[in-house]
């Protein structure tokens, strides 16, 4: 929740042509907007998880729930102060990229107990905690779940991915956490959409020549982001050349 007002404030400081900012080209505003929509999805997924564990008093509209700025990022090591500021290089570099970073910087040291270097580390710790509780308590962990209260309505993000998840048990809870981790804190370039078109790509090796849209480089970086490993089908080299790494298909691209 702490990111949504921060990103919206920055996005609405960006001037645009015409009477509407909601249908511009793929520029800074549209990119930030897509991230905001993903953050809203993450908020819904966490809410579903809490409801599944028996929390019935979740109020997004509560004054105490709405973040205030400036404020420290919760459970973060080292400290990161979040604040509202018009979009610019400094706030993107020093706040947004630091908030979303995939890994800690060298020399930062190990975070104290209860603190984490990245968002991904935090949510992975939540997943491990759920595994331990599920192993100890079994179905009793989910006995106060209220499926009808969970949000599984429409989710649409033209420039992003993910979907709502109905949390019923440990497996579905881990699926919800996986979406948050992959989109928000596991590795760089997670904001890139997956390749979905069959438009041929001249010069790319098979099977990418019939699978990717704009450039294979986009597909390759999407693989890196989605799976945490490099695409094993092929990669783009410097210049105009292509080099094939192996014949295995990369499941993240298609």
Which residues fall within 8 angstroms of residue 27, CB to CB, at 6 or more apart? Answer: 14
Cα(223)–Cα(225) distance, integer angstroms = 5
Cα(112)–Cα(187) distance, integer angstroms = 22
**Which residues, in sequence order, are bridge partners of residue 234?**
244
Per-residue pLDDT of the chain (254 residues; tens, 9 = 90+): 889 999 999 999 987 665 555 554 557 888 898 999 999 999 999 999 999 999 877 888 888 888 899 999 999 999 999 999 999 999 999 999 999 999 999 889 899 999 999 999 999 999 999 999 999 999 999 999 999 999 988 787 877 778 899 999 999 999 999 999 988 755 443 333 444 444 444 554 444 433 333 333 334 333 333 333 333 333 333 333 333 332 233 333 32
Contact, 161 vs 183, CB < 8 A? yes
What fold is seen in the domain 3-184? Ferritin (1.20.1260)
Cα(248)–Cα(254) distance, integer angstroms = 13
**Which residues, in sequence order, are bridge partners of residue 244?**
234
State the DSSP H helix or E strand holding residue 219, giving kind and residue range, or none if neither: helix 216-227
Strand ranges (E), the chain: 71-72, 81-82, 234-236, 242-244
Which pTM does this prediction carry? Answer: 0.70
Q: Domain residues of the chain, as ranges? A: 3-184, 194-254
Which residues fall within 8 angstroms of residue 64, CB to CB, at 6 or more apart? Answer: none
Question: In sequence order, which ranges of 60-146 are alpha helices (DSSP H)?
Answer: 89-91, 97-99, 119-137
pLDDT at 23: 53
pLDDT at 154: 79
């Amino acid at each position: 929740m702490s990111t949504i007002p921060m990103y919206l404030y920055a996005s609405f400081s960006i001037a645009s042509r015409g009477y509407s900012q909601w249908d511009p080209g793929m520029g800074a505003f549209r990119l930030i907007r897509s991230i905001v929509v993903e953050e809203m999805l993450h908020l819904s997924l966490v809410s579903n998880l809490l409801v599944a564990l028996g929390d019935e008093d979740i109020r997004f509209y509560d004054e105490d729930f709405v973040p205030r700025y400036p404020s420290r990022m919760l459970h973060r090591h080292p400290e990161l102060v979040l604040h509202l500021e018009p979009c610019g290089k400094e706030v993107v570099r020093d706040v947004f990229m630091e908030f979303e970073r995939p890994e800690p910087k060298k020399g930062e040291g190990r975070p104290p107990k209860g603190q984490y270097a990245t968002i991904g580390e935090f949510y992975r710790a939540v997943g491990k905690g759920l595994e331990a509780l599920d192993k100890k308590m079994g179905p009793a962990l989910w006995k106060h779940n209220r499926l009808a209260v969970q949000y599984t309505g429409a989710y649409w993000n033209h420039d992003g991915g993910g979907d709502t998840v109905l949390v019923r048990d440990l497996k579905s809870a881990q699926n919800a956490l996986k979406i948050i981790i992959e989109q928000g804190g596991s590795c760089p370039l997670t904001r890139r959409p997956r390749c979905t078109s069959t438009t041929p790509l001249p010069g790319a090796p098979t099977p990418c020549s019939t699978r990717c849209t704009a450039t294979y480089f986009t597909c390759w970086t999407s693989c890196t982001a989605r799976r945490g490993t490099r695409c094993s089908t092929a990669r783009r080299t410097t210049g105009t050349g292509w080099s094939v790494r192996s014949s295995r298909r990369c499941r993240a691209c298609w």
